[in-house]
Amino acid sequence: MSINVNDKENTSIYFTSPLFLPCTIEDPNFLGVYSSTSTLPTAPNNFNTAGVAGTGSMYVYLNNAWQYIGQYLYDAYRYLVYYQGSAFALASGTKWTSIFNDLVSNSSLMTEFAGNSTAMTNLAASSTAMNIIIASSTAMSTVTSSSTAMNAIAISSTAMNIITGSYTAMNAMTTLAAKNAFQSASSQLSYIQTLISKINSGTIVLGGGRAGSSSALGLNALLVLLSYDNGAAVPAGNASSSPTPTLASKMYSAYSPTQNSYSPGSNSSTSAVTLATNQIVFAVGGYGTSAGYSAGMGNVSGYSTTGTNASNILYTTAQSVTFPNEGVSPLLLSGSLYVCTSYTIDYYYLTYTPS
């Protein structure tokens, strides 16, 4: 952008290339660019120290008057997001916060950006931008509904770090776009592994039913988050790293799953649930209702007492709830969940199907 401040009779504004903000105008008499006529200055204030705020109602002092340049501003924002991502990935401070507030508050721009992989890759790389996006329920709704946006977020370390550090952001991860993006991504798996460790330690609190709350992670979002990299962060119950029994017991206490029963009266197995498309199932636990009788949960049909077939997720002869303790992960993204028993089993699972 060029500003001719030497032509006193016809000071003008014109563009020789897309405007990149913020920029500096080295002229002591230039009053600056401001977003509201109610706070326009009367003394010189260079552009590089001027405030940039509001929702795009920006004014520049030209021809001895303040002129509205809002449309030019949005064209500048588009250039900024599409082509200058590396320039603001680490940007912070009042000006940048104001710029991103303008972006996020404009639903048309957010819809446009959410559907463009270049724009979302750049936004996801900026912690300033991501923090402002997750603070806006409207922007989050736009982003989480877009497969393009969620694909960019799922592979961004900056974005995944911010999302897994905020109950508000995590609880928004309930859409099909989020589930599909997370399930197919792998590069940021460590953030989900860390999330499970924090759940196990109590640093992250589960609760608030399916939706969660400002201080607890809800069931629907948890299951979507656990689907990351096809559930690779959820180990089998006998794993030594981030043990599933702890995660399962936390889920059991927080979400109070429905008790189901299967009572064949003899050694048998049955399908407890056959997963529909996009359904997520977590086998929480089970037990035999009579002393000495076996109970199992697995992802393969067939009665077993050896941690195989319908007991490859969980096997017990106890009469109290036992959490996953065998060699297969309790998180299912396809197939069926089976149960088996030599008499009667009471069992629990949690499920969610994003749409």
Q: Are the CB atoms for 82 and 119 separated by under 8 Å?
A: yes
Taking the C-alpha atoms of residue 288 and residue 257, their distance in angstroms, rounded to an integer, is 17
Token duo for residue 18:
């897309």
Per-residue pLDDT reduced to its tens digit, 131-149: 999 999 999 999 999 999 9
Please tell me which residue, 101 or 322, carries the higher pLDDT value: 322
Taking the C-alpha atoms of residue 334 and residue 209, their distance in angstroms, rounded to an integer, is 24
Counting every residue written for the chain, the total comes to 355
The strand pairing partners of 153, in sequence order, are: none
Give this prediction's pTM. 0.81
Range in 68-77, 99-108, 134-143 with the lowest mean pLDDT: 68-77
What Cα–Cα distance (Å) separates residue 280 from each residue in 213, 296, 333, 335?
21, 20, 5, 10
Per-residue H/E/C for 321-334: CECCCCCCCCEECC
Taking the C-alpha atoms of residue 331 and residue 232, their distance in angstroms, rounded to an integer, is 9
Residue 43 banded pLDDT, cuts 50, 70, 90: very low
The strand pairing partners of 174, in sequence order, are: none
Rg (the chain; Cα; Å): 27
The strand pairing partners of 206, in sequence order, are: 217
What's the confidence (pLDDT) of residue 337?
98
Taking the C-alpha atoms of residue 78 and residue 18, their distance in angstroms, rounded to an integer, is 9
pLDDT at 262 over 60: yes
pLDDT at 30 over 60: no
Taking the C-alpha atoms of residue 346 and residue 261, their distance in angstroms, rounded to an integer, is 4
Cβ neighbourhood burial of 233 (10 Å; 0-12, 13-18, 19+)? buried
* Domains in the chain: boundaries: 2-74, 84-233, 254-352
3-class DSSP state of 42: coil
- Classify strands 314-316 and 2-4 as parallel, antiparallel or unpaired: unpaired
What's the confidence (pLDDT) of residue 47?
34
What's the confidence (pLDDT) of residue 106?
84
What Cα–Cα distance (Å) separates residue 246 from each residue in 8, 47, 238, 334?
74, 56, 11, 23
